Amino acid sequence: MSQEHESKGRDLLSKLTRTIRTGAETLVQETKELTRVGKLKVELLALENERARKFEEIGRLAHTLYREGGTIEQLHEHFEAIDNIEARIDAKKKEIEKAPAEEKAEAETVPQESDNIYLPQDEVISHMYCSQCGAQAGADDRFCSKCGNQLKL
């Protein structure tokens, strides 16, 4: 669990580094794509939960039938419901598969919205420092105001 947390932290760091390097336009673009694949994954998860619940239900019903001497045919509509859910799961998986590999990789490394990986723009700016003298620099600064070092974005 803590290991997972650590790797999450590393992902966050590399994400932040990239965010600072790529700037605002890319940031917005990535957020939009992440939301798309991320949303599909959430929907997929919901369907898989629904299927698990359905299997549980069928298990209980099958036991009732066994006790009361019913037949498996009586579960037919429940099996159909499972087939229906599985068809939707397949469709969702295909939709995720169709997404560009880059988007899928992003969805893997960036877990939840609540992790707040995307800092507000002004916070990103506050993380910029001159590599030469360490003075703080604004996002639009091309040269350090203190030592004149050329700043790379």
Residue 150 is encoded by which pair of tokens? 């050329």
Residue 136 is encoded by which pair of tokens? 């703080």
In the set 112, 133, 138, 150, which binds Zn ion (CB under 5 A)? 133
- Does residue number 45 form part of the binding site for Zn ion (CB under 5 A)? no
In the set 44, 128, 135, 139, which binds Zn ion (CB under 5 A)? 135
**Per-position x/- string for 75-114, each x denoting binding to Zn ion as judged by CB under 5 A, each - no binding:** ----------------------------------------
- Does residue number 147 form part of the binding site for Zn ion (CB under 5 A)? yes
Closest to Zn ion by CB, 64 vs 126, is 126
- Does residue number 149 form part of the binding site for Zn ion (CB under 5 A)? yes
- In terms of Cβ atoms closer than 10 Å to its own Cβ (0-12, 13-18, 19+), residue 29 is exposed
* Unique residue bearing structure tokens 């992902």: 11
Q: Of all helices (H) and strands (E), which one includes residue 55?
A: helix 24-68
Residue 104 to residue 30: CA distance in whole angstroms: 11
What is the contact surface with Zn ion in residues (CB under 5 A)?
130, 132-133, 135, 144, 146-147, 149
